[in-house]
Structure 1
């Protein structure tokens, strides 16, 4: 019995008993996962067990500007419609009292094992980088398919990390290889370099430090968060979210990045050997801390936080909530790159299909209406193309420069321009929600994601330019 745990649960239950979503909120999302109220950030513990999908997430229910972190919990049978399962993990122990930070799930023999970072900040004169912070690695379990998490225990105490590392070690992810369990953690060493640490275990409880799995790398920042590792289409994939990278042309324009390496695993030494450079996963404004899992059909699914910490743009807080998840994306490795496609189950939301031949030249246009929509543009020939979304958000492509540019006006709340280099443009798939836009480029070769806040009465989607192809518009309805 933990009286603090019970009291925290009761407080949340009492708040939610009287909670009603405000139907006057023009920016409340229709088909994206968002918090009932308060603040959401990283996806955590994503998994599918006995047909049921679980998405846990970083959650500050009492403060839309951020605050003490819990794990919230949604469940789904189709990844489209979600049920709120309330609070899953609470900061109710001395080893996690300043936040139940990010982590992951690993299912074996009917038991779901959770590993997360327990955050503790000590009072005193500390920089909270080299002193004053505990980031303990915690293990917990569920015996009822993910609905109740119990038996929390510290499996790696912060004082037991190697001395070469700073206090910033977090975000465990687990994988079983040849009968051995491996855990990776994002880390910052005392030389202010980011890297991925590796631990190993025979029983998921007793963990030994194995060494660096990958990194540090020159120019790759001072901290790597939210690492993920998996095999996909006979390639090893390592995902990291570096902090402290400098912009390089059109690359690395956000305050922090999220991206991947393709490579191979040295199974003898259990280290990662990249065969590619670092690729950004998204070229928009709002994408961070992705997490993947393998579903029961063998597909690799990825969610990410549709937001960023410490960004110089913001979101309105008028209705006491902030942030959301991206659409779940299906990953594959094709032609030496990671492809991202929207989960096919979202096609069930399509209504009122409107398919048109597209043959535009100067002065001509096509337009559709709707605040919640999918737009699929298939291109045969193009010199230039512009898609204006609800008056104040524009996607534009110039075939001379081979650049696709995303531009926001006042609707961006400080978000202005992002662009990506392409070799050609042959397809755009746009998912428009009340306050978000996700653009899948060339069947998932690249993606651009942004939050947006257009005027409530704007609902036109307009295409202009010099382009030939087809365009299909659907309204998306749950």
Structure 2
């Protein structure tokens, strides 16, 4: 099936694609030890947006790419309905940590989300998984996702897309303190804007000419 796709005249030769089935949501391009790591969501077992996993490509020059396969997949009670989007961050031990949303749905199809971290040891083929926290339902609905890690000075923050209990989209910020993630504050992104978003997703932080920007959906 994979060879058939490669030889298909409709196959796009100028994009990264999965070995099988659909892909979406690239998750934090990161540069580490002379290699670029490109993660993205992949549903390898279905054409539906269910049971999301993450696949990985690596490259040193953005010309030649290596498909590394599936690196995250739903295997525990905290992510059993899908490994949703997130980001990568190089920790104090010079290792890549993957932060992501574990998707959970109850019998009524109501969503609950968990924020997890996984450290992948590619050389020894080991994965260390840890639940960081569950969504605080006193502040948010189950729509809480896509952690992005930002270091500012000595402080480390986590940006999350969220929907508060008023059904308004907010940027939820957590701060790392003594190896624990604690709620810091919410930022409303629509102040003074006609748009009235009901959800924030896929947040990203960057700087241009010493100005700080947050990009989100």
Same fold (TM over 0.5): yes
**Would you say the 8 A contact 2:74–2:81 is kept in 1?**
yes
Q: What is the distance in 1 between the residues matched to 2:162 and 2:181?
A: 17
Q: What is the distance in 1 between the residues matched to 2:126 and 2:31?
A: 15
Q: In the alignment, which residue of structure 1 is the partner of 2:152?
A: 177
Identify which of structures 1 and 2 has the higher relative contact order when contacts are C-alpha pairs closer than 8 Å and 6+ apart: 1
Q: In the alignment, which residue of structure 2 is the partner of 1:137?
A: 115
The equivalent position to 2:213 in structure 1, one of 237, 250, 260, is 237
The equivalent position to 1:222 in structure 2, one of 187, 198, 214, is 198
- 2:100 is the alignment partner of 1:116: yes
Q: What is the distance in 2 between the residues matched to 1:215 and 1:141?
A: 32
Instruction: Report the TM-score when normalising by structure 1.
Output: 0.42
Once the two structures are superposed, residues 149-207 of structure 1 have per-residue CA deviations (whole angstroms, 9 ceiling, x without a partner) of: 6211111112xx1513111000000011121110010011122211100000135x411
Q: What is the distance in 1 between the residues matched to 2:37 and 2:18?
A: 15
Once the two structures are superposed, residues 443-462 of structure 1 have per-residue CA deviations (whole angstroms, 9 ceiling, x without a partner) of: xxxxxxxxxxxxxxxxxxxx
Q: In the alignment, which residue of structure 2 is the partner of 1:27?
A: 10
The equivalent position to 2:172 in structure 1, one of 180, 190, 197, is 197
**Would you say the 8 A contact 2:161–2:202 is kept in 1?**
yes
Q: Where do 1:326-405 residues align within 5 Å? A: none
The equivalent position to 1:165 in structure 2, one of 140, 146, 154, is 140
**Would you say the 8 A contact 2:87–2:149 is kept in 1?**
yes
Query: Cα 1:164–1:22, aligned 2, differ >3 Å: closer, same or farther?
Result: closer
1:22 deviation in Å? 3.3
Q: What is the distance in 2 between the residues matched to 1:74 and 1:47?
A: 11
Runs of 4+ in 1 over 6 A off after TM superposition: none
Q: CA RMSD in A?
A: 2.1
Instruction: Report the TM-score when normalising by structure 2.
Output: 0.90
**Would you say the 8 A contact 1:96–1:118 is kept in 2?**
yes
Once the two structures are superposed, residues 60-81 of structure 1 have per-residue CA deviations (whole angstroms, 9 ceiling, x without a partner) of: 0122343320011111111232
| SS class of match (1:207) | strand
1:113 deviation in Å? 1.4
1:57 deviation in Å? 0.8
Gaps of 5+ in 2: none
| SS class of match (1:30) | coil
Query: Cα 1:86–1:24, aligned 2, differ >3 Å: closer, same or farther?
Result: closer
Q: In the alignment, which residue of structure 1 is the partner of 2:39?
A: 56
Query: Cα 1:175–1:239, aligned 2, differ >3 Å: closer, same or farther?
Result: same
- 2:80 is the alignment partner of 1:88: no
| SS class of match (1:199) | strand
1:53 deviation in Å? 0.9
| SS class of match (2:10) | coil
Q: Quick check: which has more Rg, 1 or 2?
A: 1
Query: Cα 1:238–1:89, aligned 2, differ >3 Å: closer, same or farther?
Result: same
**Would you say the 8 A contact 2:169–2:188 is kept in 1?**
no
- 2:57 is the alignment partner of 1:74: yes
Query: Cα 1:21–1:67, aligned 2, differ >3 Å: closer, same or farther?
Result: farther
1:49 deviation in Å? 0.7
Q: What is the distance in 1 between the residues matched to 2:164 and 2:126?
A: 32
Q: What is the distance in 2 between the residues matched to 1:181 and 1:197?
A: 14
1:230 deviation in Å? 2.1
The equivalent position to 1:211 in structure 2, one of 185, 194, 199, is 185
1:21 deviation in Å? 3.9
Q: What is the distance in 2 between the residues matched to 1:177 and 1:113?
A: 18
Once the two structures are superposed, residues 377-426 of structure 1 have per-residue CA deviations (whole angstroms, 9 ceiling, x without a partner) of: xxxxxxxxxxxxxxxxxxxxxxxxxxxxxxxxxxxxxxxxxxxxxxxxxx
Q: In the alignment, which residue of structure 2 is the partner of 1:330?
A: none
Q: What is the distance in 2 between the residues matched to 1:143 and 1:104?
A: 17
Gaps of 5+ in 1: 1-17, 242-478
Q: In the alignment, which residue of structure 2 is the partner of 1:321?
A: none
